[in-house]
């Protein structure tokens, strides 16, 4: 899968820009706050339907403008494709010129894997970061998971609103069973896919960790669903309903949902010990590299071709050994990376360099 051309209008600090990519490594370089990451964010938005920074659509619009537009032309093994997005209060996608009714129908058409500095805290970060890691990959692999996650967020929001209203005496809990049944059904779908994805990542990540540690470290991944059975595994739909019924009074008192996929997490183990508590910073960073490498491999197998790799200023955060590992592993796929100094990418091989300044991109000869 290869990105060819990205057209950006009124997005973040970019007014009007066309970026042309090569099939190999593309380096967007320049000082901070010039718009390098905004270009990656635009590509990710067209791939996953949402910003990896957590921004809402209005926040993505250039100051003083009413909306923005993006268009990405790319190639798969089967055909040339184009995704377009217009935002003017509401998002409207087009795929190969035809309007798309649901965001889920464009998610994953262009597949990419993002690696940013904040991912280096994935091991010691909270459950939300870990869920984001699994869900962003799953949404590209399986559009049905994107729909399930979107529906689940709405159900949890509606259930929490009902519980708060009941706690304040503004509503009864007569409809709580309806929300719990929907929550349990969606929870099973989401947790099944999360468990399968992490299991697919496990052996690949373990292989990378062994390589980075010269065989001294064995990496493990343990999924932590909510709720879980005595064996730590996810429950059936009926099992989740039993837990929800048992927690009915506690949730009513708390005014919020106490269990469910919105509380899932996973633990990364190194030699059988939780890496969050016992691993050194170097071990944790190796584990993150292993997880991101596994994500690339699993996503590539699922879609039948290599995803484009987006590296957002991550090289400067790595020591020379791990930086060399990243650079050696990207040679056979399309890569778009950002950095402050062009020299940071000198050892990759033949590269297309593009300088970014004040939201404008200029091409430069490869070095």
Where does a domain end: 253, 269, 302?
302
Q: Is residue 37 part of a domain?
A: yes
Q: Same structural domain for residues 293 and 349?
A: no
**Burial level of 86, CB count in 10 A (0-12/13-18/19+)?**
middle
Write the CATH number for 131. 1.20.1050.90
Quick check: is 83 in a domain?
Answer: yes
Q: Which pLDDT value is given to residue 69?
A: 96
Q: Which domain holds residue 208?
A: 123-302
Residues 161-217: pLDDT tens digits? 999 998 888 888 889 999 999 999 999 999 999 999 999 999 999 999 999 999 999
The residues pairing with 114 across neighbouring beta strands, listed in sequence order, are 310
Same domain membership, residue 15 and residue 34: yes
Same domain membership, residue 167 and residue 249? yes
Q: What is the model's pLDDT at position 332?
A: 75
% of residues, the chain, pLDDT over 90: 70
**Residue 215 is assigned to a structural domain of this protein:** yes
Do residues 217 and 85 both lie within one domain?
no
**pLDDT at 137 > cutoff 80:** yes
Residues 319 and 271 in one domain: no
- For position 326, what pLDDT does the model report? 85
Q: Per the domain annotation, does 320 fall within a domain?
A: yes
Specify the DSSP element, H or E, that contains 310: strand 308-312
What's the mean pLDDT in 245-269?
A: 94
DSSP lists the bridge partners of residue 20 as 5
What is the layout of strands, in order, in the sheet containing 273-274? Answer: 219-224, 265-270, 273-274
What is residue 348's predicted lDDT score, i.e. its pLDDT? 64
Helix (H) or strand (E) segment spanning residue 158? helix 143-167
Residue 117 included in any domain: no
Residue-by-residue DSSP string for 242-299 = HHHHHTHHHHHHHTS--SSGGG-EEEEEETTEEHHHH--HHHHHHHHHHHHHHHHHHH
Same domain for 261 and 202:
yes
Q: Is the peptide bond before 227 cis (omega within 30 degrees of 0)?
A: yes
For the chain, give percent helix, strand, coil, nearest 5.
45, 25, 30
Q: 0.85 exceeded by the pTM?
A: yes
Q: What is the mean pLDDT of residues 27-40?
A: 92
Residues 83 and 145 in one domain: no
Residue 14 lies in a domain: yes
**Where residue 68 sits, what CATH number does that domain have?**
3.40.50.300
Least confident of 107-111, 269-273, 343-347: 343-347
146 and 230, same domain (yes or no) = yes
| 315-356 per-position pLDDT tens digit | 888 888 888 888 888 777 899 999 887 766 666 667 888 999
Looking at 252, 275, 302, the residue that finishes a domain is 302
- 331 & 291 share domain: no
Last residue of a domain, one of 260, 277, 302: 302
Mean pLDDT for the chain overall: 91
- Tell me, what's the pLDDT at 2? 95
Both 294 and 311 in one domain: the answer is no
Q: Token pair for residue 171?
A: 């509503």
CA geometry: angle at 135 spanning 134 and 139, to 5°? 125
Residue 366 confidence class, pLDDT cut points 50, 70, 90: very low
Report yes or no on 279 lying in a domain: yes
Q: What pLDDT, on the 0 to 100 scale, is given for residue 327?
A: 81
Q: What is the pLDDT of residue 367?
A: 42
Residue 118 lies in a domain: no
Number of domains observed in the structure of the chain: 2
Check residue 56 and give its pLDDT: 85
Q: What is the mean pLDDT of residues 238-263?
A: 95
Distance, CA of 41 to CA of 49 (rounded, Å):
11
Distance CA 243, CA 245 (A): 5
Assess whether 98 and 26 both reside in one domain: yes
Q: What is the predicted pLDDT for the residue at 9?
A: 96
Do residue 185 and residue 251 come from a single domain?
A: yes
- pLDDT value for 213: 92
β-pair partners for 274: 269
> Residue 19: which residues within 8 A CB-CB, separation 6 or more?
5, 6, 8, 39, 354, 361
pLDDT of residue 297: 92
């Amino acid at each position: 899968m290869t990105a060819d051309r990205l057209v950006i209008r009124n997005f973040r600090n970019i007014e009007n820009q066309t970026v042309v990519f090569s099939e190999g490594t593309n380096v967007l370089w320049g000082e901070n706050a010039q718009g390098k990451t905004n270009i990656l964010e635009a590509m990710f938005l067209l791939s996953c339907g949402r910003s990896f920074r957590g921004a809402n659509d209005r926040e993505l619009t250039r100051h003083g403008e009413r909306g923005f537009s993006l268009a990405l032309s790319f190639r798969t093994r089967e055909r040339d494709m184009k995704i377009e997005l217009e935002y003017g209060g509401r998002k409207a996608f087009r795929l190969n010129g035809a309007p798309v009714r649901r965001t889920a129908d464009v998610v994953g058409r262009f597949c990419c894997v993002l690696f940013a500095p904040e991912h280096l805290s994935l091991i010691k970060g909270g459950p939300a970061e870990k869920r984001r890691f699994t869900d962003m990959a799953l949404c590209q692999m399986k559009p049905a998971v994107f729909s399930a996650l979107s529906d689940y967020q709405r159900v949890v929001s509606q259930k929490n609103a009902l519980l708060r209203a009941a706690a304040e005496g503004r509503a009864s809990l007569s409809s709580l069973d309806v929300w719990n049944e929907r929550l349990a059904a969606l929870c099973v779908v989401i947790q099944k896919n999360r468990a399968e994805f992490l299991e697919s990542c496990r052996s690949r990540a373990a292989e990378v960790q062994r390589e980075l540690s010269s065989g001294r470290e064995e990496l493990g991944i343990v999924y932590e669903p909510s709720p879980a059975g005595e064996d730590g595994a996810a429950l059936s739909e009926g099992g989740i309903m039993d837990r929800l019924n048992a927690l009915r009074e506690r949730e009513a008192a708390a005014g919020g949902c106490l269990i469910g996929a919105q509380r899932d997490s996973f633990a990364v183990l190194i030699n059988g010990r939780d890496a969050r508590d016992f691993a050194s910073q170097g071990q944790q960073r190796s584990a993150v590299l292993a997880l991101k490498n596994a994500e690339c491999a699993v996503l590539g197998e699922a879609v039948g071709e290599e995803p484009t790799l987006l590296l957002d200023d991550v090289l400067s955060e790595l020591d020379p050994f791990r930086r060399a590992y990243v650079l050696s592993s990207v040679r056979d796929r399309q890569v778009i990376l950002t950095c402050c100094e062009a020299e940071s990418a000198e050892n990759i091989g033949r590269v297309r360099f593009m300088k970014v300044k004040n939201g404008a991109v200029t091409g430069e000869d490869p070095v």
